[in-house]
Structure 1
Amino acid sequence: MVKCQVILDALERIAPRHLAEEWDNPGLLVGSPAQEVNRILVALDVSDHVVHQALEQGAQMIIAHHPLIFRPLKKLRTDLPLGHRLSVLLKHDIAVAAAHTNLDIAQGGVNDVLAEAIGLSKLSSFVITAQHEDGAVESMGRIGCLPSPMTIRDFALQVRQALPTQHVRFVDAGARPVRKVALCSGAGAEFIGKAAALGADAYVTGDVKYHDAQHAAELGMHVIDAGHFGTEFPVVEQLAARLRQELAEVPGGIQVVTDRSSRDFFELA
């Protein structure tokens, strides 16, 4: 077994906490840096289903993209979902850590995994979150190019087939071919105007509302809503692979397993 802190250090190398947005809550959320771990479960959410997997597989730690605790807790009621989940985790000494917007922004993180999955290359920054003296920038989302132009319908089909989702919704803004694509995993509708201003032919994100779609259509830019789950779940396998690499030489050995059975909450009727 290894100390939880060793795993937190590895996670810090993959997705440094300084990258996170001010409002975010990444890092160790349940447990102690001193507790011992020999198996980690990597997941998108710390749901009851994921906690059950951790118990079944003997994992002493869950690393998730979405923070289990996001806002300050004023009470801990074990008859309510979050309180019950926390009581189970504490009872079984299962630590929980999150890498949220820091993993969105990090190189090789959520947005890079999404871009690769849907066929984009020549990636550049999108919504810049920090700029350093050496000229390096950090950004939420990415902009990239397809190998050749496609219709929006064909690109929407390609996105659906590439991601763990039953369907995508798309805004067809006209005959404009799709070559330059902006993206932001999760919920990025607030950046529709930015994507259009940067000359994107299409914008891929999740959780798009009606008036967001209307705004994109008025700007003449296609939008593909591939869902919050669909745009983010692919990072689970990649994060697990990077943790295995970071921890490969750590004495004591550590196993990293992934949540393979969670599904989007939304289904088609």
Structure 2
Amino acid sequence: MLSCQTIMNALERLAPRRLAEDWDNPGLLVGSCAQKVSRILVALDVDDAVTQEAIDRRADMIVAHHPAIFRGMKQLRTDLPLGRRLTALLTHNIAVAAAHTNLDITHGGVNDVLAERLGLEKLSAFVITHQEDGVTESLGRVGSLPTPLSIEDFAHAVKERLGVSHVRLAAAAARPVRRVAVCGGAGADFIDDAVRRGADVYVTGDVKYHEAQRAVEQGMHIIDAGHFGTEAPVLPVLVEQLYAELAAERGEIEIFVTNTQRDVFDVITS
């Protein structure tokens, strides 16, 4: 076993909390730094299914992308979903940590994994969050495809490479795809940034109708591959990164990806 603090130290090296946006809530959210951990479940969300999975698989800790506690709490109501989950986690002595926008921004995190999965090369910063001593940190990435593709072919490639059931495409006028901007999760706020960076297409999730319309009006394609679909690829990578960070520690540890969590949306075709 390892201490929870040892796990948190490893997570801090991978996705430093200083990278997180001001409104975010990463870090240890449930449990004690002193408790012992031998099994870690990695997931996007701490929902009811993941909570029960952690109990069933005897996990001592959940490392999630989205914070289990996001806004300030004034009550702990056990008859409501969040209170019920927190009670179950505390009852079974399961610690919960989150690495959210810090995992989005960090090198090797959500957006680097997404860009690599889509076959992008020559990556550069997208929405810059910090610059110091020649180091640039940003939400999202901009990269290039090895060879240009039609927007239809690229949309099919995104669907296949992310393993999602569908993507939503808003295509602009005929424009081959070479330069691609990506932002895992909900990145529609950065559509204008993608246009300014000269992207032929922007891949993100949670895009609304008028947001897609604005992208097309500016001559840029947009592909909505879903919040879940654009973030889930980081989970197995995070497992391997944690193993690597903890390799020199004395103590047995098992780290595994959730096998119950799935996209909250289903697609009904008939």
The TM tier, using the shorter chain, reads over 0.9
Secondary structure of the structure 2 residue equivalent to 1:185 = strand
Number of the residue aligned with 2:37? 37
Contact persistence 1:164–1:234 (CA under 8 A) = no
The DSSP-based 3-state class of the residue aligned with 1:184 is strand
2:235 maps to 236
Deviation for aligned residue 1:120: 0.7
Alignment of 1:143-154 (within 5 A): 143-154=142-153
Measure, in 1, the Cα distance between the counterparts of 2:213 and 2:257.
38
Residue 261 of structure 1: CA displacement?
3.0
Give distance in 1, aligned partners of 2:146 and 2:152: 16
User: Structure 2 counterpart of 1:20, which letter?
Assistant: A
Letter in 2 for 1:141: G
Q: 2:181·2:201 contact (CA, 8 Å) conserved in 1?
A: yes
Tell me the equivalent position of 1:141. Answer: 140
Deviation at 1:40, TM superposition (A): 0.5
CA distance in 1, matches of 2:232, 2:262: 9
Matches of 1:55 and 1:121, distance apart in 2: 41
CA deviation after TM superposition for structure 1 residue 74, in Å? 1.1
Q: Is the 8 A contact 1:165 1:264 kept in 2?
A: no
Q: Give the equivalent residue in structure 1 for 2:26.
A: 26
- Give the distance between the partners of 1:2 and 1:150, measured in 2 at CA: 48
Q: Are the counterparts in 1 of residues 53 and 260 from structure 2 also a CA contact under 8 Å?
A: no
The corresponding residue for 1:82 is 82
* Equivalent position of 1:111 in the other structure: 111
Q: Which residue of 2 aligns with 1:62?
A: 62
Number of matched pairs: 268
Q: TM-score, normalised by structure 1?
A: 0.98
> Which amino acid letter does the alignment assign opposite residue 28 of structure 2?
L
Q: Which residue of 2 aligns with 1:157?
A: 156
Paired residue secondary structure (2:185): coil
The RMSD of aligned alpha carbons is: 0.7
Post-superposition offset of 1:114: 0.4
SS where residue 128 of structure 1 aligns?
strand
Q: CA deviation at 1:164?
A: 3.5
Aligned equivalent of 1:172? 171
Matched-pair contact (CA < 8 Å) for 1:24–1:100? yes
2:3 maps to 3
CA apart distance, 1:260: 2.8
Uncovered stretches (5+) of structure 2, i.e. residues with no partner: none
Deviation at 1:51, TM superposition (A): 1.1
- Which 4+ stretches in 1 moved above 3 angstroms? none
Counterpart Cα distance in 2 of 1:260 and 1:83: 23
3-state DSSP class of the match of 2:148?
A: strand
Percent identity among equivalent residues? 63
TM-score (norm 2): 0.98
Query: Could you say which residue in structure 2 is the equivalent of 1:93?
Result: 93
**Counterpart-to-counterpart distance in 2, 1:170 and 1:248:** 43
Partner of 2:192: 193
* Whole-Å separation in 2 of the counterparts to 1:165 and 1:88: 31
SS in structure 1 at match of 2:184? coil
Q: Find the aligned partners of 2:260 and 2:140 in 1 and give their Cα distance.
A: 26
> 1:58 offset after TM fit, Å?
1.1
